[in-house]
Amino acid sequence: MSTFFANINELNEFDVFKRAGYRIVEGGEILVRVERIHLGYLFRTFVKGVIQDVVLFEFQRPAEIFVNNWQSWGPARVVGKDFPFSFPIELRKKFGYSASIMPEVYFDNLISDYFMGSDKFLIGALSSRIGHPYLLIDPETVKVKLNLFGRHFADWTEVEKFVVLKGEIDWLLPYYADLVAKENGVELKAKNFVGWSSWYQYFLDFDYQKMMADLDKSKCLGYQVFQIDDGWERDIGDWEPNEKFPALTRIASDIRSYGYVPGIWLAPFSVSETSSISKNHSDWLVKDENGNPKVAYQNWNKNIYALDTTNPEAKEWLRTLFLNLKDAGFGYFKIDFLFAGAIQGKRHDNCTPVEAYIQGLKIIREAVGDSFVLGCGAPLWPSIGFVDGMRIGADTAPFWDPNGPDIGYPNAYYALRNVFTRWFMNGVLWWNDPDCLLLRCEDTQLNDSQRQLYAFTSLLLDNILVQSDNLSYKIDHDLWKRIMTIRSYGKRMVNLKGLMDGQYEITSAGVDGVHKLLVKDLKIPTFRIEFDEERVKLVKKIEKRSDGRTFNYYEEREKLE
């Protein structure tokens, strides 16, 4: 079995089919089958034995490439050959596994998780259910790799599939996303929504009085969800209200009394070193080689350990936690820092970190039923099919800094960059969460232009829309009104061109017409929006008849007026 493509842009069938075949690797065996599919080729891999981190094939690197990080906050960006990738040494301990499932590789190498593209091709894995598929990139070559973390396969087992697709990257990406969705059996049942979150206004300085004040001010803004973020809990791992909040049932019923679905934030796979779980159930934590709890990352000025989602007692605790939150009245769950569930280490079950993570997500999904689950800080491909929404960029912030580090730090500029570069996942794998819209005109460094671009991009890409402002402040209400008017037309069909050169052109089609957003320079930002004025304005009224049938009436607005 040969493993090297000379030039992936000039692939012919013989080059591709030479990659098929059988080979022996250290500890096991691998069999690769290659099939022709629309626009390219499908690589199916079967393994037996103890398999580590294997190279499936490699190819000559194009100069400009589109690379992707494994989790929500990480960058999805275009880089050239001169891109000097090295993660800041002083931040490596703090970031830990937040940066990569394989920090030992990531911190000093350019890698792209799950997929990568260039102007004329795309290569990507269709799933991450057992192993971690990625591409290891040096200035000359790209190695297509699958890390199975030394898992033992007693019998021949099919692992993650890859596709190699040829064409324009801008339309290959949505095509690829749909292949991934079909491979994972995604049926997007949940509806996209509009809501409010506490985080980007109050951060940890949030309490019940502030919640009630904003609830009071929120009438007529059109929210469907009202979500309390970090700051309500006693500790990371101790998911009970702290002294600033009443009982969870009270919080949920207060929110519901305003007509909203009550939403709550938590980081279910994270356990702080000061939490009661850490003190009383250290056997529930992922361990290092010496049997000590492994630090997944540092935050809240603490070491954060990872819940072993394969430990039977920990699993039961996790199930009970979410059943109780659901019983308390919550119907929307923002589950954050999820990467902690997928760190490498010793667990109760002898499985890969990806399999352990999926065990944890399954428990949550089953416990909350049809409630909306938003993944955040989440490994992307292993979450497919378990979450309804997904954060697809870094935290936003009340500032715009194109010169800041591009490592997943809060920054409206980098957050929005990912909203463009991961646009194709929306409505196919899940609803993209572009992160919150900050529409306040005070207590912010964002200017009108930055605020408008963020809002219209999120709207026209048909993403989740969540506002995060103190509603007592001066808010850009005209902007919100315009957004809600367009959103009222319902689902949109979206396309984006210009991914490789960064001059993004969004085409957003809906019942009201086809709006366009053209970004000339995201850094400044300079952009133009072309609204498609309606020639005919229809008002739709829905009538439910006593025989169960639905009648959708359409009437011209002018006539009604």
Partner 1 sequence: MLERRYNILTGEWVIVSAFTQQRPTNPTAECPLCVGGAEFSEPYDLCSFDNRFPSLRIDAPEVISDNELYAKERAQGKCEVVVYTIEHESAMSLMPVHQIEKLIKMWADRYLELSTLPFVKYVFIFENRGAQVGATLPHPHGQLYAFPFIPKRIEAKLTAQARYFDEHGNCALCDVVKREIRNGERIVYENESFIALVPFYARWPYEVHVYPKRHVSSIVELNNEERHLLSKTLKVVTMKYDLLFQQAFPYMMMLFQAPVNDIRYWHAFHFHIEFNPVKRDKDKIKWMASVETGTWAFINPKIPEEAARELRAVEVLK
Chain contacts with partner 1 (rule: CB under 8 A) = 38-39, 167, 171, 174-175, 177-179, 182, 187-189, 191, 428, 490-493, 495, 507, 509-511, 513-514, 532-536, 538, 540, 548-556, 559
Backbone angles phi, psi at 512, to 5 degrees: -80, -5
Query: HEC states along 92-141?
Result: HHHHHHHCCCCHHHHCCCEEEECEEEECCEEEEECCCCCCEEEEEECCCE
Q: Give 37 or 247: the residue with its C-beta nearer to partner 1.
A: 37
**Minimum CB–partner distance for residue 179 and partner 1 (Å):** 7
Instruction: Indicate the SS3 state at residue 335.
Output: strand
Nearest-angstrom CA–CA distance, 542 and 183 = 36
Q: C-alpha angle 64/145/298, rounded to 5°? A: 85
**Minimum CB–partner distance for residue 178 and partner 1 (Å):** 5
Where would I find the beta strands (DSSP E) of 223-260?
225-228, 233-235, 238-241
**Minimum CB–partner distance for residue 538 and partner 1 (Å):** 5
Answer whether 275's CB lies under 8 Å from 235's CB. yes
Report the DSSP beta bridge partners of residue 116: 67, 123
For residue 351 the two structure tokens come to 């499985």
For residue 13, give the DSSP letter: H
Nearest to 286 by CA among 364, 355, 359, 344: 344
Q: Give 43 or 297: the residue with its C-beta nearer to partner 1.
A: 43
Q: Give 81 or 540: the residue with its C-beta nearer to partner 1.
A: 540
Q: How far is CA 110 from the centre of its chain?
A: 20
Nearest-angstrom CA–CA distance, 68 and 103 = 15
Q: Give 405 or 490: the residue with its C-beta nearer to partner 1.
A: 490
Q: Give 403 or 552: the residue with its C-beta nearer to partner 1.
A: 552
Answer whether 1's CB lies under 8 Å from 33's CB. no
Q: How far is CA 119 from the centre of its chain?
A: 23
**Minimum CB–partner distance for residue 552 and partner 1 (Å):** 5
Q: Give 93 or 191: the residue with its C-beta nearer to partner 1.
A: 191
Nearest to 269 by CA among 191, 359, 339: 339
Nearest-angstrom CA–CA distance, 236 and 280 = 14
Q: How far is CA 13 from CA 35, 154, 168, in A?
A: 10, 33, 19
Q: Give 181 or 286: the residue with its C-beta nearer to partner 1.
A: 181
Active site residues: 336, 395
Nearest-angstrom CA–CA distance, 234 and 247 = 12
Q: How far is CA 537 from CA 488, 507, 512, in A?
A: 13, 21, 8
**Minimum CB–partner distance for residue 555 and partner 1 (Å):** 4
**Minimum CB–partner distance for residue 428 and partner 1 (Å):** 6
For residue 462 the two structure tokens come to 């048909």
Where would I find the beta strands (DSSP E) of 159-294?
162-166, 194-197, 225-228, 233-235, 238-241, 261-266, 270-272
**Minimum CB–partner distance for residue 397 and partner 1 (Å):** 32
For residue 139 the two structure tokens come to 């200035």
**Minimum CB–partner distance for residue 144 and partner 1 (Å):** 22
Query: Helix axis angle, 312-328 relative to 248-256, nearest 10°?
Result: 40
Q: How far is CA 200 from CA 297, 396, 439, 443, in A?
A: 22, 8, 11, 11
Nearest-angstrom CA–CA distance, 214 and 460 = 27
Q: Give 6 or 560: the residue with its C-beta nearer to partner 1.
A: 560
**Minimum CB–partner distance for residue 316 and partner 1 (Å):** 31
Q: Give 234 or 497: the residue with its C-beta nearer to partner 1.
A: 497
Q: Give 109 or 495: the residue with its C-beta nearer to partner 1.
A: 495
**Minimum CB–partner distance for residue 177 and partner 1 (Å):** 7
